Amino acid sequence: MDALRGEQLCLSYHGRAVVHGAEITLRPGEVTALVGPNGSGKSTLLRSLARLHRPDSGRIELAEGEGAAVNDALALSPKEFARRVTLLAQSRPTPTGVTVRDVVGYGRHPYRGRWRNDDADGPRAIGWAMDVTGITAMSDRPVDELSGGELQRVWLATCLAQDTGVLLLDEPTTFLDLRYQIEILDLVRDLASDHGVAVGVVLHDLNQAAALADHIVLLQQGRIRAGGKPSEVLTEHHLTETYGIRIEVQADPDTGRLTTRPIGRH
């Protein structure tokens, strides 16, 4: 499976620097969560790994596992890159008059030539992606009739149908109720643990990040303040200084799982 690495990435919008010298590695079988306040550069960094935001400087490398030959990810053809890396963005335009199954089928574009029947593995990948995201029963419904939560699951299924070794997710639980938030995060964990996928995910919920991730990258004003295991990054000192509010951190005595609690005036 693929590993994706960003080295000394500097990113900007319209000449204004927003990410400064970031280093991040997504490893097969592991989930890396990017956390931090609004405007800290999380989504910009993730989009750069997906080649949607070209770095001012730095390097993005893609290898077939640790220790394998390294490719310059920016030099790969779009189709080649899309067979190895996919991104679930925060928002996408909703097509009209298109069924759920057809939208999930968009994920197979890197494998198709001129004709759809060029993709022999497509039906299996599409069926699996709809099944694991719980949308099979709505496969014939037009996507422009779906709720926000249903549509979010359709777009995730589209990414899964792409069948890549690297999965990038930008706030994947947006619009989802509590049940589907947990189901999506469980699925992400399964993709890493059971299928060896390298996952990079932007999350706002620190408790979700603590429960899900093997590694956490904490960003503050475009710089990586801390990176490592959840217990190393999600400390009261790091979080309180980064978010500008007192945040308590506790570990469950039985499981060791961390929980965070921001302390307000009341």
* Structure confidence at residue 68 (pLDDT): 59
CATH of the domain at 224: 3.40.50.300
* Structure confidence at residue 65 (pLDDT): 62
In tens, the pLDDT along 175-186 reads: 788 988 998 999
Cα(86)–Cα(164) distance, rounded to whole angstroms? 7
On whether both 157 and 208 belong to a single domain, the answer is: no
* Structure confidence at residue 266 (pLDDT): 83
On whether both 73 and 170 belong to a single domain, the answer is: yes
Structure tokens given for 31: 């989930």
On whether both 49 and 171 belong to a single domain, the answer is: yes
Domain that holds residue 97: 91-163
Identify the segments of the chain with pLDDT beneath 70: 65-69, 114-117
* Structure confidence at residue 204 (pLDDT): 94
* Structure confidence at residue 194 (pLDDT): 92
* Structure confidence at residue 175 (pLDDT): 79
On whether both 68 and 37 belong to a single domain, the answer is: yes
- Total tally of structural domains belonging to the chain: 2
Is 97 among the domain residues? Answer: yes
On whether both 171 and 68 belong to a single domain, the answer is: yes
| Helical segments of the chain, H only | 42-49, 78-82, 100-105, 122-132, 148-161, 178-195, 206-212, 230-233, 236-243
Cα(165)–Cα(42) distance, rounded to whole angstroms? 21
Amino acid identity of residue 255, one-letter, is: T
In tens, the pLDDT along 210-225 reads: 999 999 999 999 999 9
pTM for this one? 0.93
SS3 of residue 263 by DSSP = coil
On whether both 171 and 258 belong to a single domain, the answer is: yes
Is 180 among the domain residues? Answer: no
On whether both 110 and 217 belong to a single domain, the answer is: no
Q: Mean pLDDT, the chain, as a whole number?
A: 92
* Structure confidence at residue 70 (pLDDT): 80
* Structure confidence at residue 67 (pLDDT): 59
